[in-house]
Structure 1
């Protein structure tokens, strides 16, 4: 068993005021379901959320991420998450929001890093990690795009 590590940082300006953007981000389940690949997301006790993600496969590796994450929403301008317990996938990160470049805009950044435990020979790791980094970037960019579209459509907090 080896850990595949990846990280992504992406940001964009959203045509909505910071309170509107934060309202969506604070709806952890509704917002989390906008992330590409999330098959289910349920709230548990103590700000812990259980994620089951779609299986990721590149021919050499097949992995179905299943993990629990705790969110710290005490600072709405920087909502953080970290893994809880022992699982085959762990994610750490933050949503950061600051006023945008003009009135009624917000700059939103997603900063995330993750580790996936997979059953492969260590010698294969250098071949698999670039794929994991690419997947991480695609998911993070897709998540940011979905959040932006939801907020800018006027739909507000996800249902």
Structure 2
């Protein structure tokens, strides 16, 4: 078993006031279900959420992420999360929101890193991690696009 690590930071301008963007981000279940690959997301209480994601496969590795995450929403301009317990996937990160470049807009950034425990030989890790980074970037970009679309459409 090895830990495959990836990270991604992406941002976008949203044509909506910061309060509208933050309202969606603070609704962790509604927002989380917009993330590509999330099959289920359950609020377990006390800021803890259980995610089950679709199986990822590149032909050599197949992995079905299942994890619990604690969110800290104390600062709505900087919503953070971290793993809780021992699972086959761990994610740390934050949403950051600031005033956008035009009146009534918001700049939204997602900064995330993750580790997936996968049953492969350590020798293949250098071949698998680039795929994980690419997947992480694609998920982050898709998530930002879905959040932007949801907020801008109302």
Q: Which TM-score tier does this pair reach, normalised by the shorter chain?
A: over 0.9
**1:109-148 counterparts in 2 under 5 A?**
109-148=109-148
Gaps of 5+ in 1: 155-159
Deviations 1:99-135 (A, max 9, x none): 0011110000000000000000000100000000000
- Let me know the Cα RMSD of the aligned residues: 0.4
Partner of 2:55: 55
2:2 is aligned to: 2
Tell me, in whole angstroms, the C-alpha distance in 2 between the residues paired with 1:45 and 1:35: 20
Alpha-carbon distance between aligned partners in 1 of 2:75 and 2:27, rounded to the nearest angstrom: 14
Query: How far apart are the structure 1 equivalents of 2:37 and 2:17?
Result: 28
CA distance in 2, matches of 1:75, 1:122: 39
Moved over 2 A (4+): none
Q: Say which SS state the counterpart of residue 44 (structure 1) adopts.
A: strand
Q: How do 1:74-153 residues align onto structure 2 when only pairs under 5 Å count?
A: 74-153=74-153
Deviation, structure 1 residue 46: 1.1
Q: Which runs of 5+ in 2 are unaligned?
A: none
Cα distance between partner residues in 1 of 2:45 and 2:138: 30
TM-score, reference length from structure 1: 0.96
Q: Distance in 2 between matches of 1:103 and 1:149?
A: 18
Distance 1:149 1:37 in 2: 17
CA–CA separation in structure 2 for the residues paired with 1:97 and 1:35: 18
Give the TM-score taking structure 2 as reference length: 0.99
Aligned to 1:157: none
Aligned mates of 2:115, 2:152 — CA distance in 1: 32
